[in-house]
Amino acid sequence: MVGIKSYGAYIPRYRMNHNTIFGAVGFLGTFPTPGEKSVANHDEDTLSMAVAAGIDCINGLKREQIDGLFLATTSQPYMLRQNSAIVAVALDLQPTIRIADFIGSSKAGTSALVSAFDAVKGGTSSNILVCASDCRLSKPGGPQEHLYGDGAAALLLGNEGVIATLDGSYSVSYDFPDRWKTSAEEFEHAWEDRFIRDEGYAKMIPEAISGLLKKCNLNIKDFAKIIFPGIYAREHAAIIKRLGAEPGQIQDTLLDKVGDTGAASPLMMLVAALEDAKPGDKILVASFGNGSDALLFQVTENIKKVGDRRGVKKHLALKKELASYERYLAFRNLAPMDTGMRGEMSLRTPMSALFRERKAILSLCGSKCKKCGTPQYPFQRVCVNPDCGAVDQMDDYRFSDKNGVVFTYTGDNLAASIDPPAIYGFVDFEGGGRFWFDFTDCDLDSVKVGMPVEMTFRRRYLDEPTGVYGYSWKATPVRA
Amino acid sequence: MAEGIKDKVAIIGMGCTKFGELWNKGAEDLMVDAFQECIEDAGIDKKDLQAAWFGVHFEEQSVGKGATSLALALKLPFIPVTRVENFCATATEAFRGACYAVASGAYDIALALGVEKLKDTGYGGLPGGPGLMGTKNALIMPKLTAPGSFAMMATRYFAVYGLSPEEGKKMLAKVSVKSHYNGSRNPKAHLRREVTEEQVLNAPIIAWPLGLFDCCGVSDGSAAAIVTRADMAKKLRPDPVYVKSLQVALSSGEELMYTKWDGAHVETGYRAGVLAYNEAGVKNPRKEISMAEVHDCFSITEAVTMEDLQFSPRGRVKDDIEAGRFNLDGEQPIQPDGGLKCFGHPIGASGLRMLYEMYKQLQGKAQMPERQLKNPKLGLTHNMGGFPAMNIVSVAIVGL
């Protein structure tokens, strides 16, 4: 049986109230609905959030069994250089996997999902991880600014031990020019909302859902949960009514808590539905963007065996308000902030070294001495244990999935940072090993010697002359 | 143990510029100034120099690569000149090169000179930069700064020895107050104003828990020494100062990547100290070392160095600081010249600047009589370069 084996999600720590946006740029005339949106930290982007959701999804599972990774997004950092490759290395997946980027539409998340199912069903892959992530950049003051949020979802698809089977899908595809952006542009354009709403949103989603119901010979009332993105709240309710569904069947769109996360939206809602699902539940998922993909799932008994996942629920609960719109502008590099001359120094990234050292930099792999068992980061040829010193007796050893404790730390006001003080320190890993790391998603006052931390994959820098985004791992207080 | 160089080499001349924000002087000017004082003090002719060692750390900010800049600036007489770099121990490395060359018998008279022009960087603090630690480290290390990396040692010291941040900061404040007291009495120092404990405690935080006055200045400067064979020294001047030991220890990676280090001391500091005491024949450093100039880039560095060099028992430096042991009128004066705290830290010059103070004190010629210590016998200098978790420490002991 082909279906979903595991799920995970990620929502950034920061939330910004719509009123904060209104207070700063409301003079431009955009009146937001009540609510808040998730905001990626300054060191987060599509890829870092995809990795975080992926980690949540594969927590406790064998990474070696994964033979494919599909990344879906509308906000990929690279136009040339496969974005899913960076996510795959960060997740320390095998190099023998197949990878693909699904881009260009907010429908990309479900498109990736359907393609992954086809691959598993066709027998060319056994376990494919689908990560959908979006960190959508909008022009300050525009109507998208409070509508869009940042987040990611991940689903592991396979053919055994599934928690929900995929029992059918139906797609409609149109060159619907609601939103567009050329590869040379920073911000998207949109046509009139009434056009998008009436010709696209309100027609294409029901068309896909009705097609699926007919194809699978089902009634809308058969579903425990119906999921589709809610970029127009009033029209969302109207579609439900027209489909003949009851309000209780409708999955929360997360619009007033997270915002519309583009390619990730329907998948994040699916994760939220699976968190509450019971065996036998039928779940319907439809996307929107250049048409719609509708998917039919049926939850199995295995849903009870899903390990501890942060998913949508726990991430929703772990939040901190970003009360300053100006900080948000700084986080997204939307205003030319002065971080001093030190901040102007840029690393000319040596790409050959980046490739050679990819296990250390992107996978957070070090080594473990076969002779004395000492874990060490980064990979050492000569064992660092002074009583051992064995040479070339090392196995690869992954630190990204090990927690640790703060050995020491500081909050540095001199270091160039868009969010000073730069907090960094030493981490002593459980099971051995020590290194120094930047700390993120924490406040200086809350950091203490001995505090438990976990590792998180983040964007570290932008090397502007070479157009390289640098990524590596940081430490962050263990989230509950 | 190897034979060592105790009493084989003598310093017969030294020079040191005023340290500070020397906007109107280039690195070459500072080299000439330090050298002129040095060679006049030695009373020899430039053509008597047979070899030179030149220390500079941020060569791009100062003089460029190689050692030609020294030969060109001083118009040296076609002798070999070697440029050395070893983080904050750079000047001491230059001195070590000159001493070892003379001790080996290869040369009779050699020059060591160090310089750094930090104020051409355009900002406060050390230049740093992403490439400073090499390609791989630049890609995996946090964006550490010098105050941040030493602040982590302060955080750890407080945790290991159970000091509250308030108690810890108070202990460190006394270190800076003492050094400012000394520096205010030194015409060559950069910062020449006394500070109070309250000023130190209330200063803005640079890197928690270190505030502005826990950090040394950022200065330009140069210092130089001329060394000769011990058996020739007395013929050249009546009061040469002899080199008793010169030792260096470097991190193995154990502190950073293995979990044994307690983070509240500098392992290389202890190791270099032990090596230096063995070479010099010092049995009880707390009693035998008359005075020291140690690497007080930050107040916490000086505090743990007192323990690393065995001037204070582990975890007990607070008692000695509070008792005034390291004050100018204390039992074991530390930083009689004001230290890095008041001289700033032009990296390539600091080690020789420290030796300059020891040399003058041993000769009884400290500038301004109120700074002159009574009958010092052995003076120690100590440099620590890099980060507390990954570094080099040099220790030199000189005496009469």
Min distance A442 CA to chain B CA atoms (Å): 15
Averaged pLDDT, B67-96: 97
Please state whether beta strands B205-207 and B210-211 pair in parallel, antiparallel, or not at all (unpaired). antiparallel
pLDDT at B134 over 90: no
pLDDT of amino acid B249: 98
Per residue of chain A (480 residues), give pLDDT as tens. 899 999 999 999 999 999 999 999 999 988 888 999 999 999 999 999 999 999 999 999 999 999 999 999 999 999 999 999 999 999 999 999 999 999 999 999 999 999 999 999 999 999 999 999 999 999 999 989 999 999 999 999 999 999 999 999 999 999 999 999 999 999 999 999 999 999 999 999 999 999 999 999 999 999 999 999 999 999 999 999 999 999 999 999 999 999 999 999 999 999 999 999 999 999 999 999 999 999 999 999 999 999 899 999 999 999 999 999 999 999 999 999 988 888 877 778 899 999 999 999 999 999 999 999 999 999 999 999 999 999 999 999 999 999 999 999 999 999 989 999 999 999 999 999 999 999 999 999 999 999 999 999 999 999 888 899 999 999 999 986
Note whether B136 contacts A432, CB cutoff 8 Å: no
pLDDT of amino acid B378: 98
Q: Say whether B342 is catalytic.
A: no
Note whether B142 contacts A424, CB cutoff 8 Å: yes
Instruction: Out of B57, B180, B265, B345, pick the active-site residue.
Output: B345
pLDDT in tens, B20-62: 999 999 999 999 999 999 999 999 999 999 999 999 999 888 8
A425 touches chain B (CB under 8 A): yes
pTM of the model: 0.96
- Phi, psi angle pair for B95, to nearest 5°: -65, -40
For A347, the closest of B130, B147, B389 (CB atoms) is B130
pLDDT of amino acid B71: 98
Among residues B251, B248, B230, B255, the alpha carbon closest in space to that of B240 is found at B230
> Alpha carbon A257 to chain centroid distance?
16
Min distance A411 CA to chain B CA atoms (Å): 5
- Phi, psi angle pair for B323, to nearest 5°: -80, -5
A386 touches chain B (CB under 8 A): yes
The DSSP element (H or E) to which B280 belongs, if any, is helix B267-280
Q: Are A310 and A479 in contact (CB under 8 A)?
A: yes
Three-state SS for chain A is CCEEEEEEEECCCEEEEHHHHHHHHHHHCCCCCCCEEEECCCCCCHHHHHHHHHHHHHCCCCHHHCCEEEEEECCCCCCCCCHHHHHHHHCCCCCCCEEEEEECCCCHHHHHHHHHHHHHHCCCCCCEEEEEEEECCCCCCCCHHHHECEEEEEEEEECCCCCEEEEEEEEEECCCCCEECCCCCCCCEECCHHHHHHHHHHHHHHHHHHHHHHHHCCCHHHCCEEECCCCCHHHHHHHHHHHCCCHHHECCCCCCCCCECHHHHHHHHHHHHHHHCCCCCEEEEECCCCEEEEEEEEECHHHHHCCCCCHHHHHHHCCEECCCHHHHHHHCCCCCCCCHHHHHCCCCCCHHHHHHCHHHHCCCEEEEECCCCCEECCCCCECCCCCCCCECCEEEEECCCCCEEEEEEEEECCCCCCCCCEEEEEEEECCCCEEEEEECCCCHHHCCCCCEEEEEEEEEEEECCCCEEEEEEEEEECCC
State whether residue B233 is helix, strand or coil: helix
Chain B contact set for A412 (CB, 8 A): 144-145, 147-148, 151, 206-208
A409 touches chain B (CB under 8 A): yes
The DSSP element (H or E) to which B117 belongs, if any, is strand B109-117
pLDDT of amino acid A348: 81
* Percent of residues, chain B, with pLDDT higher than 70: 99
Note whether B263 contacts A349, CB cutoff 8 Å: no
A420 touches chain B (CB under 8 A): no
pLDDT in tens, B238-296: 999 999 999 999 999 999 999 999 999 999 999 999 999 999 999 999 999 999 999 99
Mean pLDDT over each residue of chain B, to the nearest integer: 96
Q: Give the DSSP letter of residue B163.
A: -
Note whether B263 contacts A408, CB cutoff 8 Å: yes
Q: Say whether B57 is catalytic.
A: no
Instruction: Out of B38, B88, B216, B297, pick the active-site residue.
Output: B88
pLDDT in tens, B301-317: 999 999 999 999 999 99
- Cβ atoms within 10 A of the Cβ of B187, count? 8
ipTM: 0.95
For A413, the closest of B149, B207, B389 (CB atoms) is B207
pLDDT of amino acid A468: 94
Q: How confident is the model at residue B1 (pLDDT cuts 50, 70, 90)?
A: low
A26 touches chain B (CB under 8 A): no
